[in-house]
Structure 1
Amino acid sequence: MLGISDEEFLRGDVPMTKREVRIVTIADARIAEDAVVYDVGAGTGSLTIEAAQQAVRGRVYAIERKKEAVALIRANAERFDVSERVTVVAAEAPDGMADLPPCDAALVGGSGSHLAEILDLMDTKLKDGGRIVLNFITIQTLATALAWLRAHKLRYDYETVQLQVNRLRHVGPYDMAQAENPIYIVTAWKK
């Protein structure tokens, strides 16, 4: 089921992609049942888990550099009973990606200031017709992604949306909107 509640994930102090962003990201990735998926900068593994639930006969590779996050990805994969379809790669991308099999879809959250290098390597791994969905909170990282995609416009088409989620919280007898960080979602597909 797409859109697992945020509270169901083990989290610790590791950043996590929120439910509404996960729903749009996974929908845009168009993950087939037998897909090979990369989740770069996997954090808690929330996108990894959602992708593995779509790729029921496939494999998801969660690339993550932080030790605490690696442990959380494994624990969450076990918690949601998808560990047999998830391989955790404990490395800072693009390191650890060269030996992975070609992929049908790739999700990119954290890039550790290596986004262009990650996209360069991913370009060699992504199958024709494959999709990359990138999530950003900073304008600078968005600009890097758009510049890379423009430089590769003969091989990729793309679209960008900004998603703003507001949650209502109780303030006395009232309900007041509390904004989450706006997220830029770039979806690119290889021609």
Structure 2
Amino acid sequence: MGHIYDCEFVQGELPMTKQEIRAISIAKLQLNPDSVLIDVGAGTGTIGIEAATYCRKGKVYAIEKELKGIETLKNNIGKFDLDNIEIIVGRAPESIPEIAYDRMFIGGSTGSLKTILDHFKRYSKENSRIVINAITLETLSDATKLLKEMKFKNIEVINVSIGRGKNVGPYTMMYGENPIYIITANKGDE
């Protein structure tokens, strides 16, 4: 299936990763057809669901603690008829399965970023890749500091700002979405 537009998703109360940010984040994950992705802070499921369409021989584990997001996530999985995505209700890292995986996306960590990264270092396969989306400077700072301290490799940070045109009478005005920091890194040597 590939890229999914925002209007195709069932939207709930939780914020949704917008389609342009989702496209870049998924590209940064460098998914393989058999990738196993842990989607931490899955929310309404847009990242995990779109990723599941790229790794049809693999699996996505969507970790979400907010019950209002779980129903929307279930509705979206059903809408796209995906059988390679599993919802896990709970907080990360406690709810992340202790399995070998090769990709992780962090959209929300509720203050547990270090322990989530510890899980990644312990359970992910060699040459695994992580992508973290941050909207605050504090999360950006914490994430880059931790990735360096934990000896992750190929750490990259990009900042993405999207403007959307909206009709105002006969004119089109651009309205900015929140800028997003997309942080990528590879698992480093122990």
Tell me the equivalent position of 1:103.
101
TM-score, scaled relative to structure 2? 0.95
Tell me the equivalent position of 1:10.
10
% same residue: 39
Does residue 166 (structure 1) correspond to residue 163 (structure 2)? The answer is: yes
Cα displacement string for residues 109-168 of structure 1 (whole angstroms, at most 9, x for unaligned residues):
011111111111111122111110100100111111011111022x42210000000000
User: What SS is found at the alignment partner of 1:69?
Assistant: helix
d(CA) in 2 for partners of 1:186 and 1:40?
14
Report the alpha carbon displacement of residue 25 of structure 1 after superposing the two structures with TM: 0.6
Instruction: Give the letter aligned to residue 128 of structure 1.
Output: E
Does residue 182 (structure 1) correspond to residue 179 (structure 2)? The answer is: yes
d(CA) in 2 for partners of 1:137 and 1:170?
27
User: What SS is found at the alignment partner of 1:43?
Assistant: coil
Structure 2 unaligned blocks of 5 or more = none
Map of 1:106-145 to 2, 5 A cutoff? 106-145=104-143
Higher mean Cα deviation, 113-122 or 128-137?
113-122
d(CA) in 2 for partners of 1:12 and 1:72?
6
Report the alpha carbon displacement of residue 19 of structure 1 after superposing the two structures with TM: 0.2
Report the alpha carbon displacement of residue 3 of structure 1 after superposing the two structures with TM: 2.8
TM-score, scaled relative to structure 1? 0.95
User: What SS is found at the alignment partner of 1:16?
Assistant: coil
d(CA) in 2 for partners of 1:102 and 1:182?
33
Report the alpha carbon displacement of residue 100 of structure 1 after superposing the two structures with TM: 3.5
Contact 1:2 1:23 in 2 (8 A): no
Map of 1:58-69 to 2, 5 A cutoff? 58-69=58-69
User: What SS is found at the alignment partner of 1:22?
Assistant: helix
